[in-house]
Amino acid sequence: MQILSFESSCDETSCAVVEYTDGVFNVKSNIVASQIDIHARFGGVVPEIASRAHCEVISKITYEALAEAGADLDKDIDAIAVTSSPGLIGALLVGVNFAKSLAYSHGLPLVAVNHMKGHIAANYITHPELKPPFLTLIASGGHTSFVIVHDYTKTETVGSTRDDAMGEAFDKVARVMGMPYPGGAALDKLAYEGKPTLKFPSSAITGDTLDMSFSGIKTAVLNYINSKEQKGEEIPKADVAASFVESAVSGVIAKLSLTLDAYPEIKSLALAGGVAANSHLRAAVTKLATERGINLYLPELKYCGDNGAMIAVAGIFEYLEGKRADVFLNACAADEEE
């Protein structure tokens, strides 16, 4: 089967065509129109501007995705999938309404997809051998959670950040050091040039909880930088980056280890979300998986950030389970886990 998918939950408008045959996914097109340049001068995503920018490109990228895939909407596409939650409500509504109209006018089945399940599904593109149950660490700009994938459409969150998301903390620390939005990837690189000599709080919450916190570490870094600026002292940016990355990643690894202890029946681990592209996190998770003798699945870098292909894959599983949305489908800003 072939599915056409839409993703517009934040600051990327994406449309993809993915084919599914005998358990293998073939991404025939995956057009991502990024709004980063539009939001960069504000230092973060401006929701109203994001919604308008989605409106401007969604029709154009649909034609592009179909053309690149060599697919005819009426002859070759079996269903349409769209991210309906969680995300920025105005941004989500653009994708949801566009997908609904297209599905209705072409008589195609419509499937609603949870964005976080989409991030997890990015792993199936590269690793068709990955099968539930497994544990996923989802780390993005809006979420950071440990999620047990019970089957292709059923997930359970067993631990999460109690405040900021990991990507959000990366972006805020990068911003205060003068890096353009979103600075997560630049901070990842800068950390290699410094040493983790500064002590910042861990992202692991003390005790047996599987929850994490990124606001304490973020505030500690901001306070350190402000105090240096006030004193007119030079900021050792590379050391700040290395120390921040070390505290953020080691805390996540400590809680990941605790989560694996709590669910000994889980033998496979996957990473998901924009921060899954972080090289320090990938290296630390690889080390942990080797030490514990569990299978590790890392998404390809091009499928870590928001994209339509991951929504198509999650949508195919929902479709195969018989789930259908209709013209009354609404968007929802909050995460609605099953």
Pairing of strands 154-160, 2-7: unpaired
Q: Is 168 in the site for Zn ion (CB under 5 A)?
A: no
Residue 9 half-sphere exposure, CB side, CA atoms within 13 Å?
31
SS3 letters across 12-26: EEEEEEEEEECCEEE
Q: Is 275 in the site for ligand KG4 (CB under 6 A)?
A: yes
Q: Is 95 in the site for ligand KG4 (CB under 6 A)?
A: no
Q: Is 85 in the site for ligand KG4 (CB under 6 A)?
A: no
Residue 80 half-sphere exposure, CB side, CA atoms within 13 Å?
31
For ligand KG4, the closer of residues 34 and 76 by Cβ is: 34
**Cα 31–chain centre separation:** 17
Pick from 16, 17, 99, 277: which binds ligand KG4 (CB under 6 A)? Answer: 277
* Cβ 191 vs Cβ 170: under 8 Å: no
| Shortest distance, position 213 Cβ to ligand KG4, whole Å | 17
Q: Is 306 in the site for ligand KG4 (CB under 6 A)?
A: yes
Structure-derived torsion over alpha carbons of residues 202, 207, 211, 212, reported in degrees to the nearest 10: -10
The region of 186-194, 261-269, 294-302, 304-312 touching Zn ion under the rule CB under 5 A is 304-312
Cis status of the peptide bond prior to 133, with omega within 30 of 0: yes
Q: Is 140 in the site for Zn ion (CB under 5 A)?
A: yes
Looking at residue 137, the DSSP 8-state letter turns out to be E
Q: Is 188 in the site for ligand KG4 (CB under 6 A)?
A: yes
Pairing of strands 295-297, 144-151: unpaired
User: Which of ligand KG4, Zn ion, none is residue 251 near (CB under 5 to 8 Å by kind)?
Assistant: none
Residue 204's DSSP bridge partners are: 212
Residues recorded for the chain: 338
Tell me which residue has its CB nearest to ligand KG4.
Answer: 274
Residue 27's DSSP bridge partners are: 18
Q: Is 11 in the site for Zn ion (CB under 5 A)?
A: no
Pick from 90, 182, 251, 315: which binds ligand KG4 (CB under 6 A)? Answer: 182
For ligand KG4, the closer of residues 90 and 102 by Cβ is: 90
Which x/- pattern over 130-169 shows residues binding ligand KG4 (rule: CB under 6 A)? ----------xxx------------------------x--
For ligand KG4, the closer of residues 283 and 327 by Cβ is: 283
Q: Give the footprint of Zn ion on this chain (CB under 5 A).
A: 140, 306
